[in-house]
């Protein structure tokens, strides 16, 4: 017996006669009428193949199982994947303690190259008005928080629509 998907010969003496699936690729071994079989094209090699296969018979690549349903079939939404990952990363970075650590390291690396007399002292830094920096930081945090909530709501809405 020969698999119509991978083309390999299956020795019937080693397997039961009621074998329903190919032992090499897992394809259903039921006879397929060529009229009923719908044709598709492999996204990797571009060659014609059966729509029912899970592996390309020409290049051997596994065909992806996708996520979004469209007329009974599943397809992925790369736009949603491309947009959500950077948004989640930006929100995580905005509220993480790593951001503060990176800022301190950047300041340290800038001061490390200066001679000791040019490094500002703590007294000089304390002379800055405290309210100015605090207000700006609070406003920034509030704006990022509101933007984050809007983005999360938008992502949830898009996921529900898919």
Global pTM exceeds 0.75 = no
The pLDDT score that the predictor gives to residue 147 is 93
The pLDDT score that the predictor gives to residue 155 is 92
User: How is the chain split into domains, by residue range?
Assistant: 1-63, 78-161
Cα–Cα dist 50/38, whole Å: 6
Taking only the tens place, the pLDDT of each residue in 62-93 is 876 544 444 444 445 666 677 778 887 777 77
DSSP one-letter string for 51-84: TT-SB-TTT-PBPPP-SEEETTEEE--HHHHHHH
The pLDDT score that the predictor gives to residue 110 is 72
Taking only the tens place, the pLDDT of each residue in 92-147 is 776 666 667 777 777 777 767 777 677 666 566 556 555 555 556 678 888 889 99
Cα–Cα dist 45/47, whole Å: 6
């Amino acid at each position: 017996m020969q698999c119509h998907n991978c083309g390999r010969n299956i020795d019937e003496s080693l397997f039961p006669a009621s074998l329903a699936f190919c032992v090499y690729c897992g394809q259903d071994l039921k006879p397929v009428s060529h009229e009923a079989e719908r044709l598709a094209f492999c996204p990797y090699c571009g060659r014609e193949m059966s729509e029912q296969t899970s592996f390309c018979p020409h290049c051997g690549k596994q065909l992806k199982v996708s996520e979004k349903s469209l007329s009974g079939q599943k397809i992925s939404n790369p736009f949603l994947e491309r947009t959500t990952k950077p948004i989640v990363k930006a929100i995580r970075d905005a509220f993480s303690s790593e951001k503060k650590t990176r800022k301190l390291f950047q300041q340290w690396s800038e001061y490390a190259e200066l001679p000791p007399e040019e490094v500002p002292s703590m007294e000089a830094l304390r002379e800055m008005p405290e309210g100015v920096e605090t207000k700006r930081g609070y406003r920034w945090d509030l704006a990022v928080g509101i933007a984050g909530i809007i983005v999360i709501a938008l992502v949830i809405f898009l996921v529900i629509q898919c």
